[in-house]
Amino acid sequence: MVESSSGNFALALAFYCRMLGISFVPVIDPNCNKATETQLRLLCERVEKVAIRDAADSYLKSRLSRVQELLVDLDSAYWPNQYANPDAREAHYRFTAGELIAQAGPLDYLFVGVGTGGTIAGLSHRIKETYPGCVVVAVDTEGSVIFGGPPKKRRIPGIGSSIVPPLCGQAQIDHVEIVPEARAVEACGTLVAKYGLYAGGSTGSTYAAVQDYFARHRPGATRPGATRPRVAFIAADRGHAYAQTVYDPMWVQQLRAEAVQPVGVEALAVN
């Protein structure tokens, strides 16, 4: 099994393949959290780590290119292709949405972070079928190209993409919120301070989107007879893997400095 992932999906495949006695080769990049990389190297005999940025100043296309090379080099290798596999959409339609409806429904608003598109594709269809008036808000990060924004260096894994994943085109989306990474870090701090929720970067992005969206829109219930809106957002990661990034003051300081750095300064310094 070979797959491009630097986060939860790689860990899930690593555990599952170990259980089945199948060799798994994750293809990761420098944005992979140290804790996640350590776990992968414990679980997998071979871990491929790319180091060259692609034209979008990201690593995704480099990871995908390495996956294609490994499929040729390795005997009987299989690539699940989480960016286009309909089983990803179906799993979220059946299981994630089923859990969400049972525990949080009925819903007026749903905020979902977008990376491969599988989560929002599955959730949006099931939620819209169950609660037709529910507003689905896709959350992306600044620098991702999924919704047509310009490419930019990104440092927080788990959200955004330097390609437009085919699964995203299958989602039913009402609005899109683009969140800067510094804003996501700020939201992570708010979740800890206010709710004691130690969450990762993609969760921080989604929570920031909730706050920013309702700062501009007056919340209202979409369900007949409801007086107060019910809002849900997907918290897809925990904070432990981000202890040395999102929760490290020095890392955050560098992130904020890069966010205000004029384009071309780094290149001038190198030359």
> What's the token pair of residue 91?
């799993």
Task: Give the integer Cα–Cα distance in Å for 77 and 74.
Answer: 6
DSSP string, 117-128: SHHHHHHHHHHH
Helices and strands in the chain: count of H runs, count of E runs: 10, 7
Q: Where are the beta strands (DSSP E) in 5-68?
A: 25-28, 48-49
Task: Give the integer Cα–Cα distance in Å for 8 and 15.
Answer: 11
pLDDT of residue 261: 60
> What's the token pair of residue 26?
């994750």
The alpha carbon dihedral of 146, 4, 8, 152 has a sign of: negative
Q: Which residues contact 31 (CB under 8 A, 6 or more apart)?
A: 6, 59, 154, 155, 156, 157
For 60-110, the pLDDT digits (tens) are 889 999 999 999 999 899 999 999 999 999 999 999 999 999 999 899 999
Q: Is residue 142 within 8 Å of residue 231, measured between CB atoms?
A: no
Q: Which residues contact 83 (CB under 8 A, 6 or more apart)?
A: 116, 117, 161, 163, 165, 166, 167
pLDDT of residue 219: 77
Instruction: Report helix angle 181-195 to 201-216, nearest 10.
Output: 90
Q: Which residues of the chain have pLDDT under 70?
A: 261-271
The alpha carbon dihedral of 117, 118, 121, 124 has a sign of: negative
Phi first, then psi, for residue 161 (nearest 5°) are: -165, 155
Please give the model's pTM, rounded to 2 decimal places: 0.86
